[in-house]
Every structure is written in C-alpha cells, then in structure tokens.
Amino acid sequence: MDFVFVPGAWHGGWAWHPVARRLASAGHRAVALTMPGMSVGDDQRELRLADAVAHLFAEIERRDLTEVVLVGHSWGGIPIAGAARRLGARLHAIAMVSAFVPRSGESMIEALGAEVGGYLRTQIESSPNHSISLNFDAVRESLMQDEPEALQRLLYELLVPQPGGYMLDALDVVDFAELDVPMTYLLAEHDRALAAPGEELAARLGTEPVLVPGTHEAIITHADEVAKALQASVES
C-alpha cells in the first residue's frame, strides 16, 4: 500500500513522521506531505483550500502512487475529501485519525460554530498574512492536555500559522459513498479538539470509530497504536 499522510491545521508533514516510519518498516510506502504555506517563511496571503487539494492530487500523480490509502489528521480530512474524488483507480482506502469529516458546502470555520468561527475570522482579517495563529494555552488545554509540559512546548514551537483561506473555504461536493472504497475512522480516546463528536464524524464516512489511546496529538504521542490500527484497517 502507498500511505499518503495529510497533516492538520498548523502542522506540517513532520507530525506524521512517527506513524509513517512505522508503516514503512512494515513494508508499506509512506509519504507525509506538507501543504503549501505550512513551512516557516511561506507567504500565506493568497492560499485557498483549492491549493491544498491540488497539491495533494499533484503529489500523488507526480510520485505515481497506486493503491493509495489517504490518511488525514484533524483539518487534513478536508483536502482528502477534495482530492479523493479525482484519484480514480489510484485510491484504495481512506482513513481519518481524529479528523474533521466535511459536509458539502461546510468550511472548517463554520463547523467550529459561531463563537469560535467569529474569533478566527477576526484573526484572519487582522493578520497581515491572512493567517490564524495558535497560542500555547490551546496546545496545553485542547491538543495535548495531560502530556508533559516540555512536550507541549515542543509541539507549540513546531506549529506555524494556518492560511486563512484553508479555513474559510468549503468543498462544493462531498460524497464519500460514491468512492466505494474502505473507510476507517480512528478516534483518540481523550480528544478535546474535534469540531463534532467523533461518532458523528465517523458516521459521515459510513463507519464507527475505532478507539486509540491519547489526545488530539495521538499521531505523535501514540504512534505505535495508530500505526497498528491503520495497518489493520487495510488488511482486514
């Protein structure tokens, strides 16, 4: 299998490296992508969700990947939903790990609700780079609660601002049923950062969640369990 990993908001491909290495050791090809604008120093002002979708699709074609298992974390579920419809026979399966599963016409900001969404819109409008930054309190309280502070601060130092267009834009059409490929939803047991209950998000894929230990950042803190669950999902 060719596993293609898409990171969540504020993260780069580095967030998937622990899981990707384990699957590569098991004999799979593993590619952890960083979306446009998600490296230090990138200009994020003009980036839109379509750019992330196009980048994901283009990288799969450029690398000539086949039997592709698209794996998304958090916001990464959105570009996966956009690219999957274009992959055709290359697509083998979809796996979401504590990911947002979008609905047609629903942006990430809309999914987060009026209060949080309004706050993020204000951030985008006031940012010279049209981006959204994350503060340390969000890491400590929502993304990686109960983990050692040294680990929380390391994660915080690795995060970069999220392009506003990635959060404001929505996919016109989302229809996972039409893809006719296996779908898996892994849900971290102590996730506090999801825009909707994990059971509801899994149901949008037509499945039930498979629990893995950890918080929203389980792909980093519990890579063994996540990798094993992903491997099991494509071998069953």
DSSP state for residue 195 in the 8-state scheme: S
Q: How many CB atoms lie within 10 A of CB 88?
A: 8
Tell me the whole-structure pTM to 2 decimals.
Answer: 0.96
- In this predicted model, what pLDDT tens digit does every residue of 205-229 receive, in sequence order? 999 999 999 999 999 999 999 999 9
What number is the average pLDDT over the span 98-104? 96
- In this predicted model, what pLDDT tens digit does every residue of 16-36 receive, in sequence order? 999 999 999 999 999 999 999
Q: Please report which confidence band the pLDDT of residue 236 belongs to, taking 50, 70 and 90 as the band edges.
A: low
- In this predicted model, what pLDDT tens digit does every residue of 121-135 receive, in sequence order? 999 999 999 999 999
Note whether 132 and 139 are within 8 A (CB): no
DSSP 126-172: H-TTSEE---HHHIIIIISTTS-HHHHHHHHHH--PEEHHHHH---S
Over the Cα atoms of the chain, what is R_g? 16
